């Protein structure tokens, strides 16, 4: 099973600042990595698929990069609605696995 | 509008069974793979199972042999039959649609239901 480790566990920032979230895989997942945002009481929302492709309707301030074992989700100029929990997910090998999440807080 | 609506959750005793359903609308159901993802209270996301448009199935090790995913393309409905339930199966269960319609390309889960709560307790 591929283990995804997200860092940091919690990130404290202010609106207007930029956020950099990391996801590291225990073995290469090529570019088969997605990112999700989840707010309290809501279902997750797909942000990025295949490492760097924004999903439909996702603002341009969200960007993904990386390949192999190291990936980054960058949120430029944070908006108040961006404070949430973010998960990465790999589909390179079965079973599909998620990271443990990064909480982005004010 | 593309929508998924889960049902069937509830309280069940350890060792019991439950069948979850997920009604889909707004897209060509048979063209897309679908998945179940769960979230234990206060915890992260855990992938449970996926079924392709053609019916190929995949399971997490934690549910293999106990859960069965299926789909009824005539009724645009996804199911998850859960047997031999354990306390650690307690979670919100989400159904989700795979973004890409390309066969075997499970590139992301782009539409999610609101979730249904399953509680396994005596």
| Residues of A with Cβ-Cβ distance to B59 under 8 angstroms | 95
| Residues of A with Cβ-Cβ distance to B44 under 8 angstroms | 87, 98-101
pLDDT value at position B101? Answer: 87
- What pLDDT, in 10s, does the model give residues A26-77? 999 999 999 999 999 999 999 999 999 999 999 999 999 999 999 999 999 9
Interchain pair A44, B46: CB under 8 A: no
On the 0-12 / 13-18 / 19+ scale of CB atoms within 10 A, A57 is exposed
Q: A90: cis peptide before it, omega within 30°?
A: no
- What share of chain A has pLDDT > 70, as a percent? 100
pLDDT value at position A37? Answer: 98
Query: Is the Cβ of B82 closer than 8 Å to some Cβ of chain A?
Result: no
- Distance set, CA A103 to CA A9, A16, A60, B16, B55 (Å): 6, 17, 21, 35, 36
Residue B56 has pLDDT above 90, yes or no: yes
How far apart, in whole angstroms, are the C-alpha atoms of residue B49 and residue B57? Answer: 7
Q: Which residue has the tokens 């354990």?
A: B86
- Distance set, CA B20 to CA B7, B30, B40 (Å): 6, 19, 16
Query: Is the Cβ of B110 closer than 8 Å to some Cβ of chain A?
Result: yes
Span B102-108, mean pLDDT?
90
């Amino acid at each position: 099973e591929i283990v995804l480790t997200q860092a940091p566990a919690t990130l404290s920032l202010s609106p207007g600042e930029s956020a950099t979230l990391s996801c590291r895989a225990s073995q290469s997942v090529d570019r088969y990595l997605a990112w999700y945002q989840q707010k309290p009481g809501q279902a997750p929302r797909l942000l990025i698929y295949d490492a760097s492709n924004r999903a439909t309707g996702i603002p341009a301030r969200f960007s993904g990069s990386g390949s192999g074992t190291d990936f980054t989700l960058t949120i430029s100029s944070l908006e108040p609605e961006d404070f949430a929990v973010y998960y990465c997910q790999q589909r390179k090998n079965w079973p599909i696995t998620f990271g443990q999440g990064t909480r982005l807080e004010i | 509008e593309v929508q998924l609506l889960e049902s069937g959750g509830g309280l069940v005793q350890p060792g019991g069974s439950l069948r979850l359903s997920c009604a889909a609308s707004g897209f060509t159901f048979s063209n897309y793979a679908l998945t179940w993802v769960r979230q234990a209270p206060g915890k992260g996301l855990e992938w449970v199972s996926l079924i392709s448009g053609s019916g190929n199935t995949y399971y997490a090790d934690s549910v293999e042999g106990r859960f069965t995913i299926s789909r009824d393309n005539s009724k645009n409905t996804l199911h998850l039959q859960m047997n031999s339930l354990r306390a650690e199966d307690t979670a919100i269960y989400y159904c989700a649609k795979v973004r890409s319609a390309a066969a075997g390309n499970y590139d992301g889960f782009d539409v999610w239901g609101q979730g249904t709560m399953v509680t396994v307790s005596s």
